[in-house]
Structure formats: C-alpha cells, structure tokens
Structure 1
Amino acid sequence: MGMSAGYELASRGYKTLLIDAFDPPHTMGSHHGEPRLIRHAYSGGETYIRMAIRADERWRELEHLSGMKLLERSGVLNMADPAFYNYESRIEEARALGVRVEQLSAADINSRYPGIQLPDFFQGMYEPDAGYLYSERCIAAYRGLAIKAGAELLADSFVTGITADKSGVTVRTRDASFAAGQVIVTVGAWFSLLEPKVSLPIRAVRKVVGWFEADSSVYGAGVFPGFIWGGAEGGYYGFPSIEGAGLKIGRHDGGVEWRPGEPLAPFGTYPEDEEDLRRALESFVPGAGGKLLRSAVCKYELTPDEHFIIDTHPEHENVLLAGGFSGHGFKFASVVGEILGDRVERKDTGHDWSLFALNRLLHK
C-alpha cells in the first residue's frame, strides 16, 4: 500500500520520501511468496466490487508503464459448502456492476476440472476474468516507477516515532529525522510499535502457505484456476502450479497471534502448519497432495470486522493511516494508493469510502 501511494504521489509531482524498515520487496511483511488472487465478485458489497474493478484497471496501467508481466487471467473458482456460505447475493451484485460470473454446481465443477472432487451438495462461482498477481513484481514495479518519478527511498530504516501538529509532521528513524507536510502510515502488522501515538485495533497473526507436488497437466497454470474453498475444515485459497513450483494453498482463518519484535516461527513449528493444508487438499483436490516442495510464513493484520482502515488520524488531519487489510488486501493495493493520493490532495472523487472509517471501530 505504501509503495503504491508513494508512486501515486511522486507521479502527481509531490516531493515524496518512502521509508521502509526493510528493503522492498522483502519477506518481513505480507507481500512475499507470489502470487496473490485478484477477483471482482467480492463479498462485502458494492464498495469492494467497485474497488476491485478500479484496482484491476490500475494494475493493467502498471503493467503498461513498467513493461512487466504482473497479472495472469487464470480465472478464479469459488467452492463452498452452502451450510457455511452462499454465493447468490454476490453473483447478483457483481453482475449488476458488469462483472462476468458463472454459478456452478458441484457436478459442473467436477466435470470441468478433473482434478477436483466435490461432494454433490457443494456450490460454486467462477469468475473468468479474475486471476492472480505476481506480488513481489508489483512491489518492484512500483518502486522503480516511484523513483523514476522523483521519489526517494530510504530502505533498511526503522521508524522509531512520528509526531504531528498543525505545522506538519516529523518522522524519526534510528539515524535521522525528517519533516514533511503530511505522512501516510502503512506499516501492516507492525502498527503496534507506533503506540500510543498511533493506536489501531489491529491483531497481527502468523500465517503459513505451502506448495505441494502436483501433476501440471491437471493442476498447472493454464489449465487450473486460482481457487477459494470453504467447508467444515475452514476457509482456504490457492493457485495452480506455476512453472512446476507446485499447487500453492493457504488457510484464511485461524492462525497464531504475533507481536512485532517476536520471532516469527518457521513453517512446521506447529503440526497444524502442514496438517491443515493437507486435510484441505484431501477434501477437494486429492491428486494435489504430493510432496511439500516449498513453504512460507507471513502475517495477516486483522481488524475486528476484517474491513480495511483508510482514514486520517483521529487527532491529526495531516497523518493518514492505511492498515488492517486482513489477509485480503493486496489485490486492492493499486487503488488504495490512488485513494491515499486523493486524500493527500483533499480531492473529492465522489466515491464513498466510509466503510473504511476508523471511528467504526473506536466507538464500539
């Protein structure tokens, strides 16, 4: 989100300094381990659907400007036990906004994708125009274009404090301090380190993903879609095997709480790291449960309602906060950068982003 906003502001002619505790793209946030799903028939209503459509437009612009391949139209298949989730309202809302979407039965899915075995009572929703983003490439593309547009990047610089008043803001690192008219804070799972100056109801959670050996003729890119699956075993998401890397799968719910400064336990620390993923694979793609080829650990930053926070600081209008992207935010990074750029300019775009107001969480 920060790199997108940095590019956005630099491209609009603002003097822009990007400060990162690490050297992006890196493995200390939530963007590593390629790829990330992008879909448009979104839960949460019209706001998310419109955002997803605009985000897609901005990703295509980024591809054009950077000359890098960032987005694959693999299609995304949603599968669910109707006792846990029903797609009817999402399909209706998405179609009303021009999103192509198919409603499928379990028999339809099993016939179309021989690698999937769903019980008869499952239901499905398929988006042919959805797919996945190469997340680390996206960060690298924004970084290159931001610098080309005049932004400065201060990498490996840990922010130790932020102060603000009506005259401006000051950001302190371990080595220096920087003054500006406005600041955007997008520190993901690390927000608690800025307390009490910035205090957001965000809970950081350790998450794991695994890549499992699978027949590329059945589960490979080009023949198998991105997917989301939900049932009694939990909620999962994943991707086809890309260049033989293995079918990637992760669990959306659950996870172990993590606090900045604590070690991030490696994959396999908990038996459920691999067990949960294999249990899900056995439930609907049993042919994809081969050898574990690769694993990764990252973080979610969860708000209580899993909606984002994009708002000004409660006490300082020149401090913008963007966080709590709750494990489903990366696809929106391109449009969030645009929204933050508009907020810096105090530009009325006619869009209603009140769903992401901070006060909804502070006044409960």
Structure 2
Amino acid sequence: MSSHESNLDILLVGAGTMGLAIANALAVEGQHRIGVLDRCAPPHREGAHHGHTRLIRVAYGEGDQYVRLARRAHTLWQTLDQHVDGGVFHRVGVANIGDPEQPFLREVANSARLHDLPLTCLSADEAMHRFPGWRLDTSQRAYFEPDAGVLLTEPIINAWRRSLETSRNVAWHDDADIVRLERNGEGFTAIARDGRHWSAERLILSAGRAVTGLGAQLGLHLPLQRVRKVFAWFDADSRYTPLCFPGFSFTGSIGDYYGFPDLDDQGFKVGRHDGGQPVDADEPLAEFGAYPEDLNDLLALTSRHLPGIGALREGAVCEYIRTPDEGFLIDEAMPGLFVACGFSGHGFKFAPAIGEALGHWLTTGERPEELAPFTLERFR
C-alpha cells in the first residue's frame, strides 16, 4: 500500500497526550490543514496517559517556571470537565509532604507566595488529624493545596480524539507507524512502515520514546533518556476515600513519591517519582515485579507512613522520557521542525496549556513567554 498526502500545512507525528493537545489547539485556531499520525489508537497502554489518573497542582515544587502554565492548564481542565459526561477532574486537593527545609517543599511554598495561590501549611499533628490515613514524623509538614486534584486520563484522551475526528481541517491516521522522516524542498515528509507518506511545510515531533531515533534522521540529536518506572494499586480502608484523603506528593529520605485516593473502589494508587531503570529506546519494559525494588520501594512508603494500606492489587510499568535537568523540551529545533518531548513524568497536567501555547507559536510565529524556559539551547 502506498499513498502520499501533501496538501497539509502542519504534520504532527505522535498523537499521545501532547500530540492530541497540540492538534486540538491548532484545530480550534482553524487556520491550518493538519495531519495527525500515530501507530496506536489512543487511549492505550503505550503512552504517557497510561494509568488512569494524574495529579494537577499549581503550587509547583519543580520550579517557578511551571506555575504560569499550571494555572492556565488548571483553567482549561475545568472547562473540559464541564463538557465531558462524568467529568475529568476530581477536586480532592493535593498535599505536598516532607521536611520543610527540602528544596521541593521550599519551592512549593515559594511559588504559592509569589503567585498568591491558596496553600495551607499543616504541622505533622494537624495533617494527621485532617487526613487520618497519614502517619508522619514530627519534623514533617504538609502543604495542602485545596483547589488541586486528580485528572482522569482516558476520558480526556477520548474527548480530544472525538474532537479531532470531527474536525474539518484535521486528517487523522492512528495506524501510521512512522519509521522515517526526511527533509524536502517544501518542508518535511513522514514515511510509514507500510509505504504511505505525508508531507507538510512544518512538522511537530511529539512521539515519546520514538523522538530520539526519528530526530536523528534529520540530524537532530536530543538529550533524552528513557527510564522504566513502576506504580501500583493497593487495598485500602475507609481513610483513603476522596472524602478524607487527597492526592499527594511525598519527599523524604526513602525517596520521592506521588499518590491518589481510592477513586471508585479502584484501589489506592502510589508510584515512586525518582529512581527507576534506564532503558534503550526500543527495549521492552520488564513487567512489574521483575526487580525486587518494584514492590519494595512502594512498601517503604506505605508501611512507614500509610497504616491503612493493605495488599497489592495490581502493579504496572510505565516510562519517563527525561532530559538531563528533567525540564521539558519544547522548541523549534530547526526551521520548521518543532519538538515537544522530555516531559519526565510530570507533563500530563500541563498538556492543554502547552498545546495552546505551541498552537499560538505555530499560528503567529512568536514563541510564547511561558515556553521560553524549555529551549534546546540550554543543553548546548
């Protein structure tokens, strides 16, 4: 089978979380004919949306450069929540827990102060009284953000996909396994394994772990590392329902963790944000339990600080595509070629704001200020 579509303005390779968000923003702009290519039909278990839930918080411990994007994303999530049956956002709050002298917690408090964000600092005793599921050390604090909460990934992906499938200016292909990118006189061509190819003046590369290999075909060498990560769901008692337990991030001597209340009796979900195993781009991810630390790392948190968490229900693996500084990589890497990658396990919450900002850049030719910290140049 061979076909060639060339009446496109923008070609988007990779229709996962960021690809869908960018394509939807461009479709709303309505000025471009857009080709959206992916080898899978989202939602699926291969992308960054895998695992059902993500946290959305605005008082951000990873750095002040994220707060403006987080605020805009929070607004856009609430708008989407009103238009999707069953909603996409649970406003359960997020507690950022740890020693207040740790850089992450200091940055959470600092971002709330600088941007006038609602944030309550609780002592260990106050936090355990308010959230009985926690057992904290006396030195620890909880910075609670009441307007934060939990995003439901699959309803989001489905909503974005339905929107694209009904858009007049979007050509959608979820069976396009792109194996080669080439430059041509008019821009770029993406070639699928089955011989089909698509061309456009501009190309957006947001294909997760495939970004490194595809970019290299155009002479683009990106500082990205793929890391195997794990998370799991556990049995939990009534202290861990959304009525009395928030989403959380935890930073301490045993590691950095994130977690979710037991939503709809799916189980208590927890993962470790640091650690993991570096893997090659094409290497299969070993199943949960292949390493002793897969479960042991999670039990280190639950056994010490979460007394009502019970037996393991299900473990899962995922991947981070990480830059050296764990910041995002969103840039025009060469004329006409834009990359959106390196989201390092904390990008999902920003997706609609990044899509909107990158759509604005492609439409106006002006880089939005909120994307300025994420250039490729910082690694050169």
Give the TM-score, by structure 1 length: 0.94
Distance in structure 2 (CA, Å) of the matches to 1:17 and 1:63: 27
- 1:61 equivalent to 2:79? Answer yes
More strand by share: 2
1:300 counterpart residue number: 320
- 1:8 equivalent to 2:62? Answer no
Q: Contact between 1:66 and 1:145, CA under 8 Å: does it hold in 2?
A: no
2:201 equivalent among 164, 174, 181: 181
1:213 counterpart residue number: 235
Deviation at 1:297, TM superposition (A): 0.9
1:181-330 to 2 correspondences below 5 Å? 181-194=201-214, 195-197=216-218, 198-215=220-237, 217-288=238-309, 290-313=310-333, 316-330=334-348
Q: Contact between 1:206 and 1:264, CA under 8 Å: does it hold in 2?
A: yes
Distance in structure 1 (CA, Å) of the matches to 2:82 and 2:315: 32
Distance in structure 2 (CA, Å) of the matches to 1:60 and 1:82: 30
Distance in structure 2 (CA, Å) of the matches to 1:341 and 1:86: 31
State the secondary structure of the residue aligned to 1:37.
Answer: strand
- 1:164 equivalent to 2:186? Answer no
Distance in structure 1 (CA, Å) of the matches to 2:369 and 2:133: 42
Distance in structure 1 (CA, Å) of the matches to 2:277 and 2:244: 34
Q: Contact between 1:68 and 1:141, CA under 8 Å: does it hold in 2?
A: no
- 1:337 equivalent to 2:352? Answer no
Q: Contact between 1:209 and 1:251, CA under 8 Å: does it hold in 2?
A: yes
Cα distance per residue 1:52-101 (max 9 Å; x no partner): 00001111222334445111101000111346446344323323323111
State the secondary structure of the residue aligned to 1:235.
Answer: strand
Deviation at 1:162, TM superposition (A): 1.5
Q: How many residues are aligned here? A: 358
Distance in structure 1 (CA, Å) of the matches to 2:326 and 2:104: 19
Distance in structure 2 (CA, Å) of the matches to 1:349 and 1:68: 35
Q: Which amino acid aligns with 2:21?
A: S
1:162–1:349 Cα change, 3 Å: closer
Q: Which moved more, 1:188-197 or 1:299-308?
A: 188-197
Distance in structure 2 (CA, Å) of the matches to 1:221 and 1:319: 43
Q: Contact between 1:101 and 1:127, CA under 8 Å: does it hold in 2?
A: yes
Distance in structure 2 (CA, Å) of the matches to 1:86 and 1:293: 30
Deviation at 1:157, TM superposition (A): 1.7
State the secondary structure of the residue aligned to 1:205.
Answer: strand
1:99–1:83 Cα change, 3 Å: closer
Q: Which amino acid aligns with 2:161?
A: R
Q: Which moved more, 1:91-100 or 1:35-44?
A: 91-100
Q: Which amino acid aligns with 1:126?
A: F
| Root-mean-square deviation (Å) | 1.7
Q: Which moved more, 1:333-342 or 1:55-64?
A: 55-64
2:126 counterpart residue number: 108
State the secondary structure of the residue aligned to 1:213.
Answer: strand
1:302–1:130 Cα change, 3 Å: same
1:57–1:64 Cα change, 3 Å: same
1:345–1:169 Cα change, 3 Å: same
Distance in structure 1 (CA, Å) of the matches to 2:377 and 2:130: 46
Q: Contact between 1:11 and 1:146, CA under 8 Å: does it hold in 2?
A: no
- 1:19 equivalent to 2:41? Answer no
Deviation at 1:18, TM superposition (A): 1.1
Give the TM-score, by structure 2 length: 0.90
Distance in structure 2 (CA, Å) of the matches to 1:140 and 1:86: 33
Q: Which runs of 5+ in 1 are unaligned?
A: none
1:78 counterpart residue number: 96
1:155–1:337 Cα change, 3 Å: same
State the secondary structure of the residue aligned to 1:129.
Answer: coil
Q: Contact between 1:203 and 1:303, CA under 8 Å: does it hold in 2?
A: yes
Deviation at 1:324, TM superposition (A): 0.4
Distance in structure 2 (CA, Å) of the matches to 1:44 and 1:272: 25
